[in-house]
Structure 1
Amino acid sequence: MADADLDAVIRQLAKQHNKTILAAAKKRRDRFSGMAVKAKDKDAKERFKMLAREVVEQANAAARRLLISADNAADSYARAMRQAAAAELPKKPEKKADKPAEASPGKPPAGKPAKKKPPAKAAAKRTTKTAA
């Protein structure tokens, strides 16, 4: 899973949560339906049946919102990764002129290595020894 795309992982987790929500809603619906069967008066039966219908309807709406949010997040992540990958691609080099541009003072030309200068302290020490 280390090299799995995060957008696929987001969608997979949303599907798992969706199944969990719907399973819990079915349990609650069955509970309310059982209470409706056991109810003694007509109003209580009708109320429990209505609660069972509402539970299913609300759970379906929540599950749908969850999937839509997960899809939006996954799409956004995938789009961001595509844009980041496109930004990191090397750009094509521009055509160079026949003559190389002159180097700025202090920098060697492009083809030649820079010459090393001896450190100033070493030069000062040599002059003091020769003078003494």
Structure 2
Amino acid sequence: MANADLDVVIRQLAKRQNKDILAAAKSRRDRYISLAAKAKDSETRARYRQLAKNTLLQGTAAAKRLQIAADNAADSYARSMRNAADALPVKKPVKKTKP
């Protein structure tokens, strides 16, 4: 990754973080589902199921926001590098004449 453009690195890191966030949300959801299965009454069972549903919704929303922010940052960086490259003056080689 040393020679990769920074915008590619930003996107790769965001993708990895997205996977981690979604994995954590799914494991937390599974925990709440198992607690719902062990619940004694229907009210507690419904509460745990709702917690599981909300946990996954919040996790996916956070992952989506992270991905959008990373895409915006990567696009902004790529655009600024293109603009900087276009702004550089083109140097013409100087021909030396023999005396």
Tell me what 1:54 maps to: 54
Tell me what 2:5 maps to: 5
Structure 1 Cα separation of the partners of residues 63 and 89 of structure 2:
39
Tell me what 1:74 maps to: 74
What is the letter of the counterpart of residue 64 of structure 2?
A: R
Higher helix share: 2
Tell me what 1:24 maps to: 24
Tell me what 1:87 maps to: 87
What is the letter of the counterpart of residue 9 of structure 1?
A: V
Q: In terms of Rg, which structure is larger?
A: 1
Structure possessing the higher relative contact order (Cα contacts under 8 Å, 6 or more residues apart) = 2
CA deviation string 1:95-114 (max 9, x = no partner): xxxxxxxxxxxxxxxxxxxx
How many pairs are equivalent? 92
- Offset at 1:24? 0.2
Q: Secondary structure of the residue that 2:48 maps to in structure 1? A: helix
What is the letter of the counterpart of residue 69 of structure 1?
A: A
Give the 5 Å matches for 1:110-125.
none
Tell me what 1:39 maps to: 39
Q: Secondary structure of the residue that 1:67 maps to in structure 2? A: helix
TM-score (normalizing by structure 2): 0.89
Gaps of 5+ in 1: 93-132
RMSD, matched Cα: 1.2
Structure 2 Cα separation of the partners of residues 49 and 80 of structure 1:
47
Gaps of 5+ in 2: 93-99
